[in-house]
Amino acid sequence: MTHVELAGLKKSYDGKKNVINQVDLQLQQGEFFVLVGPSGCGKSTILRMIAGLEQISGGDLFVNGKRMNDAPPNKRDLSMVFQNYALYPHLNVEQNITFGLHTKKISREEQKRRCLEAADMLGLSDYLKRKPRELSGGQRQRVALARAIVTQSPLCLMDEPLSNLDAKLRTRMRSEIRQIQRKLGITMIYVTHDQTEAMTMADRMMILHDGESMQIGKPLDIYNHPANTFVATFIGSPAMNVMEADVSPNGIKLSPHCILSNPMKGNLKTANKNVQIGIRPEHILFSAPEQADAVAEIVNTEVLGTETLLTFTLDNTKEQWIARWNGQWQFSVGDRIPVRFDLDTIHLFSKDNGRILWAANDGQPKQAAREVLR
């Protein structure tokens, strides 16, 4: 069942250029959907339009099949969790959680029951009489989440709720929010600039850039099959290596002495210089010298304990590549080591518009790129 639908949604200010341009999206009941992108890409603006806090300039918003463009926020049957928690400092935790329920004409007994249930779910039972100033950041975030839960709204909007927390607490809260969403079965739209949050929490996600949807899909589908270079370099840490390459039927030339065999085989008829190659850091492998595709010169190493990140160049070129290897590798700056590239994982992108032309695991060039590759 489609719960929320955005049909050609647009937003502009004073009739000027659209800051949100033609967003189309359908969310199913009970789905955890993430809007992710860099600061200023429009993700919070979309969330505010869904909430009724921003006017919709074009297109339509449907909730349960009903057009909601002009409905006031209190008629949209949703709850919202903000980045700054928005707690009332003069009220205790219990009062903050139940604040607003009286406007729904809910009895005091029912308000108490809902509050205790949400507090127990979020580990707040021992803090109900405390004021917000007596709580840690994580506890305040739980109070804000509990306030959204007690409304029992079928749709919950969350605008970067974890950005004020430290890294360890963010990791724990990610898991808690996801478990609560599954338990309650609510539809959740979650905004973040953190691609790790998006990858670990989403059922599906939308990548936004400059107010436009770059790609919609399941996290691993997007990671393995990015639609363009923006998505390829935004999703994944470290980002996908994307470099210019000379592509011909004889091979893919990365540097004067590094030429990979061409996995496209007969699909590429002539040389094409308007191509970029993309390969994930984990797909650049340490190699025996006789099997190496190139000799890499180490520029920097980051030993993280469980893995090592190696920054290197090829044949004294300026472009820097990053490889990610499991374990602890002790190399020094200036060391030269043999590496090979996993041809079963490479991507080719158009240099002109950044769109995907070829992915080795797809086996065929994209339809829109066939003419480019000839």
Host H or E run for residue 296: strand 294-303
Residues 6 or more apart whose Cβ sits within 8 Å of residue 108: none
Q: What is the mean pLDDT of the chain?
A: 89
Domains of the chain, residue spans: 2-232, 237-369
pLDDT at 68 over 60: yes
What's domain 237-369's architecture? Answer: Beta Barrel (2.40)
Handedness of CA 120, 125, 130, 136 (dihedral sign): negative
The CA distance from 152 to 131, in Å, is 24
Quick: pLDDT tens for 283-338: 999 999 999 999 999 999 999 999 999 999 998 888 999 999 999 999 999 999 99
Range of weakest confidence among 242-246, 271-275, 292-296, 313-317: 271-275
Is the domain spanning 2-232 CATH 1.20.140.10? The answer is no
Tell which wins on pLDDT, 246 or 20: 20
End-to-end CA distance of the chain: 44
Average pLDDT of the segment spanning 222-240 = 95
Q: Would you state the pLDDT for residue 103?
A: 77
Burial class (CB in 10 A: 0-12, 13-18, 19+), 309: middle
**pLDDT-based confidence at residue 361 (cuts at 50, 70, 90):** confident
pLDDT digits (tens, 9 = 90+) for 186-223: 999 999 999 999 999 999 999 999 999 999 999 999 99
| pLDDT at 374 (0 to 100) | 45
Which of 84-93, 161-170, 298-307 has maximum average pLDDT?
298-307
- Say yes or no to pLDDT of 259 above 90: no
Report the distance separating Cα 174 and Cα 364, nearest Å.
37
